[in-house]
Amino acid sequence: MSAHVICGGLTFEQVPVELREKVAFRDAQLPGALAEMRCFLGLREAVLVSTCNRVEYFGATDSPEHAAAAWPNFLRRFHAVEDDFAPLSFQLRDLPCVEHLFSVASGLKSMVVGETEILGQLKDAYDVARTQGQTGKWLNRLFQSSFAAAKSVRSRTAITRGSVSVGSVSVELAEKIFGELPGCRVMVIGAGETSERTARSLLNHGVRSILVANRTFERAQSLAAELGGEAIRWEEWEEHALAVDIIISSTSAPHYVLTHDRLAALLKRRGRRPLFLIDLAVPRDFEPSINLLDDTFLYDIDDLQSIAHAHLRERQTEISRSMEILKPHVERYMTWAVRQATDGGGIETGLVTT
């Protein structure tokens, strides 16, 4: 009898979110679900990964067919749902399984290619399994190798480079203008949803001081409370602009809120400090010629979106290079596995999709 390293489950590529959300495992559920799954699927070793975009199992087993058949039933039983997951589930064995995990860990199979959150999620899932004693030589080696492979891809390619959302592009630009963000002061003009998200991205990267100005003061107070900032009255925002480093604007004003001449006058009083202006409004709040002023960096929503799209395209082009980097890591694991097979339970290569 020979052992197989297998993986399978549901991913965003085949399964819509309406179904994925029915079978996602909460952190608190994971240890219990893992033990039950291992028993139900007849796995010698097991790791269960549950994220927004994938619910997958990894295991070592003598009977991949049994695991493939039992997986949809396990989901139905554990989550008490009636849906048939068999046609939507995949299973990979041995070499394709190893390639799959290494690619997933490197962010190559993520919805947003190159995102790094998945590596942390895999590490967490592996830690849960290892702590519970659900892993052994096959999966320990497999997961540790996948982490090393992912690190190699991240350091040797641009797969993670460049932000791919308006908020993260804004953060990236702010970091290229100011360096460290904790010392930066931000002002939000207009309490729109996009400006709120962008402000949150900046807060997540260390910005501590946020002012919120809105024509309706109550709305400014409400958003300021949510962001942990301070609300200011609409008529005071220009005066406060002298002290801030980043201004995010998304008002519904039909005209420019800030013109070139007005800002030029403000800059004279402000001193020689860079000013980053993020205009998320349509029609735009800041007169475009503001960008001609020295030490002033103006980006509107189209600029930010086009940078995000360009980054995404660049990441796509890095996939083949990343696959080349993964090859020796995969080969090393397979060589080790074959050597193990000669000592004990064997490992074969194969692919089964159910």
Site residues (vs other proteins, CB under 8 A): 155-158, 161-162, 173, 175-179, 271-272, 274, 291, 294-295, 297, 299, 303, 306-307, 310, 318
Phi, psi for 46 (deg, rounded to 5): -155, 145
Which residues are within 8 A (CB) of 269 and not within 5 positions of it... i.e. 6 or more apart? 242
State the minimum distance, in angstroms, from the CB of residue 295 to other proteins: 5
State the minimum distance, in angstroms, from the CB of residue 299 to other proteins: 7
The nearer residue to other proteins, 155 or 342, going by C-beta atoms, is 155
The nearer residue to other proteins, 136 or 274, going by C-beta atoms, is 274
Residue that has been written with the tokens 């219990």 in this structure: 32
Task: Please say whether the beta carbons of 33 and 25 come within 8 A.
Answer: yes
Task: Please say whether the beta carbons of 184 and 246 come within 8 A.
Answer: yes
The nearer residue to other proteins, 52 or 158, going by C-beta atoms, is 158
The nearer residue to other proteins, 87 or 179, going by C-beta atoms, is 179
Task: Please say whether the beta carbons of 54 and 9 come within 8 A.
Answer: yes
State the minimum distance, in angstroms, from the CB of residue 291 to other proteins: 6
Helix axes 166-178, 301-317, angle to 10 degrees: 100
Task: Please say whether the beta carbons of 37 and 46 come within 8 A.
Answer: yes
Measured torsion, CA atoms of residues 312, 316, 321, 323, in degrees rounded to the nearest 10: 120
State the minimum distance, in angstroms, from the CB of residue 37 to other proteins: 39
State the minimum distance, in angstroms, from the CB of residue 259 to other proteins: 19
Residues annotated catalytic, as ranges: 52
Task: Please say whether the beta carbons of 227 and 196 come within 8 A.
Answer: yes
The nearer residue to other proteins, 2 or 289, going by C-beta atoms, is 289
Alpha helices in 132-216 (DSSP H): 137-156, 166-178, 193-204
